[in-house]
Amino acid sequence: MDTAPRIRLGALTITAERPRELGRFYSQFLSWPYIRYEDPGPDDPPHAGYALVCPPEGVAEPALNFDYDPNYRRPVWPTEPGEQTPTVHLDVTVDNLDTAVAWATTCGATLAPVQPNPSAHRVVLDPEGHPICLCLP
């Protein structure tokens, strides 16, 4: 019988057109240190590059990587036939939905046009269009 190795989720990678800007958004939104970024490669546009945002020391949550994708297409949420769909979204626990929406929009998110269950969670879109569900505990 094989024994599975110890496996831990270290990071979630999110593709973007402007990864360093998206890293700064998540750093501010989550109040996490903006750890590092890499400049674009020699043949990349100025907004390309890479960013890494890690949780504060002692917080056991995965880091967020932001990678440049030259073919990035902004996802549409809710999904529409023929449009780019989000392949992942983040669920973020908050203690107050109205306050969390206000904070997210201050940081650069937009309130999604459709709210499936606004008394339990709210959907905002990050600056690149990725959905974030702000959820009560």
Catalogue all structural domains in the chain, each as residue range(s) with its CATH number. Answer: 10-72 (3.10.180.10), 73-137 (3.10.180.10)
pTM of the predicted model over 0.85: yes
Beta bridge partners of 63: 11
- Side-by-side strand order, sheet with 131-135: 90-93, 131-135, 121-125, 110-111
Q: Provide the pLDDT for residue 2.
A: 84
Q: What is the pLDDT of residues 70-125, one digit of tens each?
A: 999 999 999 999 999 998 899 999 999 999 999 999 999 999 999 999 999 999 99
Q: Provide the pLDDT for residue 1.
A: 65
3-state secondary structure of 132: strand
d(Cα 51, Cα 53) in Å, to the nearest integer? 7
Amino acid in the structure at residue 71: N
